[in-house]
A = this chain, B = another copy of it.
């Protein structure tokens, strides 16, 4: 198949956390206009059937995937690189720019029209289901130590606790990283009250979504899996009882002053 190299583009498209209810009109349009879909296979599988060529790959090959997508676009294909959640948050957008930033990147890659479609990220979906835990200053930390030394993760957790940020944890646990989440909870237990609310939001936006509200004292890392987003409250994060469900969790907008 031949294509006009000048007609190609690459869009990094955020699919949101699962349900089409959270897929933006921009993302839907770009997926429909793409000739090629590139991504981790569960995300590619989420795009409704269509004429697009599907290049699904395994996890942990983000950079190869990004290079492949840039090359296809440079050859004139309209390429959607798909990511769950927001591609800009611990996801494929950074990998595409890393591939482009390689001194060995062909000049043609730099001529590819490139854009990013933001999506609802996992922590926002988790927060919406739980109430409003991200209503005040917060941070997002990936627990994956594939990409940074574990000491950096620990140091960030300690400083985040000292700053009294609400903390959202991405990539909390996997078969290859079984102990990190427990170690993170242990580190935070030394610095925050055991009564601190903790949210475990599993597969939000999917048919099997589940929400657990517990405390830093009681939480067990075994309650989380790969599809869990963990949110740990700040010192002023509060609960509101809700009939027939987990309590609401919210973090007031004001801090240390009368609102």
Within 8 A of B (CB), among A83-117: 86-91, 93-98, 100-101, 110-111, 114-117
Contact B117 A128 (CB under 8 A): yes
Task: Provide the A166-189 mask, 1 if CB < 8 A to any CB of B, else 0.
Answer: 000000000000000000000000
When C-beta atoms are compared, the residue in chain B nearest to A239 turns out to be B101
For this chain, the copies found in one complex come to 2
Q: Whole-angstrom distance between the alpha carbons of A240 and B98 in the complex?
A: 9
Contact A88 B22 (CB under 8 A): no
Tell me whether chain A's interface is mostly helix, strand or loop, or mixed. Answer: mixed
Contact A254 B88 (CB under 8 A): no
Contact B124 A137 (CB under 8 A): no
Given the interface contacts A21-B25, A256-B148, does A128 sit within 8 Å of B132 by beta carbon? Answer: no
Q: Is A160 an interface residue (CB 8 A)?
A: yes
Instruction: Name the B residues within 8 Å of A90 (CB-CB).
Output: 135-136, 253
When C-beta atoms are compared, the residue in chain B nearest to A148 turns out to be B255
Instruction: Name the B residues within 8 Å of A147 (CB-CB).
Output: 253-255, 257, 259
A128 touches which of B100, B116, B162, B164 (Cβ 8 Å): B116
Q: Is A217 an interface residue (CB 8 A)?
A: no
Task: Provide the A56-81 mask, 1 if CB < 8 A to any CB of B, else 0.
Answer: 00000011000000000000000000
When C-beta atoms are compared, the residue in chain B nearest to A117 turns out to be B128
Instruction: Name the B residues within 8 Å of A26 (CB-CB).
Output: 19, 21-22
Given the interface contacts A124-B88, A127-B88, A149-B257, does A94 sit within 8 Å of B250 by beta carbon? Answer: yes
Instruction: Name the B residues within 8 Å of A250 (CB-CB).
Output: 93-94, 97-98, 101
Contact A134 B23 (CB under 8 A): no
Q: Is A121 an interface residue (CB 8 A)?
A: yes
Q: List 24 A-B contacts (CB under 8 A).
A: A20-B25, A21-B25, A22-B25, A22-B118, A23-B25, A24-B24, A25-B25, A88-B124, A88-B135, A90-B135, A97-B132, A101-B238, A110-B241, A110-B242, A114-B248, A115-B128, A116-B129, A118-B124, A119-B120, A120-B120, A138-B139, A148-B254, A156-B164, A160-B163
